[in-house]
Amino acid sequence: MAATGMVPTDKAPYALRQETGDLAEGAAKLAGEIGATGVEALLASANRNLRSKGAAGALGSMKPKPSEWYAFDDRDQDTTDWYPQGLTCGEDSGSIGVPVFMVSWYFKPGAGERGIRVSFASPKSLKYQHALLVEAKPDGSYGPINIHAGGIAAYGDLLYVADTEKGLRVFDLGNLLDLRTAQNDLGDAKRIGRHGRKFHAFGYRYVVPQTDLWRVVQAGPHFSFVSIDRSGGTPQLITGEYREKSPGGWVGRWDLPFAGGEPSDAFVLGHPKIQGAVSRGGTWYLSQATDSTANGKLLVHAGDTLQTRPFPIGPEDLTVQGGKLWSVTEFKDKRVIFGVAL
């Protein structure tokens, strides 16, 4: 694929090693005290509304328009505190019993860090619910996670979250914790963790504690996005790096179930500003951004050919559900989950 901007490269620099530490212990302690629930139960209590074909400004000059898109509600359109980044779905997981999109958001203000959250969104009910991702501690408390969360991918009950500097953080979707099962209210909206006998999560009802970490072995590579490829005989986890200028960004694929080590293959990208990548057979799909006013592009690599397709403003991570390619857009008043033909 050298002629089209994807060059095979040495796999060793992208190797990952497992560093669980006391993460699983802390998460298990919390689950034992609060009680775990699942994605289906969370969606049944979803408290926010998606708007079918809302926030059309996100599409900019894109023609043709996406076949489907869903806008977040006004509170999540207007905020300059939270920005959507990663996207995965129930088909990636293979074990969630209902259609669902999952979207990661990072908290932007420099002071008063509130970490990262995931929206669980139903394309059937057009309802969604936020859950705060947290790092549990052995003493039974927990705190926010201050990373960009530029990409997420679900496989089974595990949610992989890209950590730019470290590699991949892992969360157990079978261990969603509903704070209302432990207390009558949602605690203080300005506090996080256990304080006395009460649990707080900045007012969020649901928290998901981190259970594992896969850390990059060599300094240098960054992990900006992540996705799942289920098109072959062996599912694969894909991750890669965003770079403002090219070359230097990369993508790599690991066989699933994930066991770390070197990827099965890796490529250096000849394109700048790649926000997401997914492969299907011999074809790669790359999401390329520009700025908050200009349309992005979808770059499709198939063998030695490169096709450029129109994309909305601010496209991010990629996933595949229902035979379509889906992404999410990040900018204020232009925040949608949208699907296009593969």
At position 174, the amino acid (one-letter code) is G
3-class secondary structure for 258-283?
A: CCCECCCEEEEECCCCEEEEEEECCE
The DSSP-derived string for 31-80 is HHHH-EE-HHHHHHT--EE-EET--GGGGTT-SSPPSEEEEPPHHHHH-S
End-to-end CA distance of the chain: 19
Q: Tell me: the pLDDT tens digits for 188-198?
A: 889 999 988 89
**Whose CA is closest to 226, among 14, 62, 40, 80?**
14
Q: Tell me: the pLDDT tens digits for 70-93?
A: 999 999 999 999 999 999 999 999
Distance set, CA 180 to CA 144, 199, 204, 205, 256 (Å):
19, 10, 10, 7, 35
Element (H, E) at 90: helix 90-93
Q: pLDDT class for 61, splitting at 50, 70, 90?
A: very high
In the chain, the percentage of residues whose pLDDT exceeds 70 is: 98
What is the pLDDT, as a whole number, of residue 4?
64
CA dist., res. 132 & res. 42, Å (int): 13
- Enclosing domain of residue 161: 2-341
- pTM for this model (two decimals): 0.96
In the chain, the number of structural domains is 1
Instruction: Kindly state the tokens that stand for 285.
Output: 């799909």
Report the DSSP pairing between strands 142-144 and 82-89: unpaired
Q: What is the mean pLDDT of residues 206-216?
A: 97
Residues facing 249 on adjacent strands: none
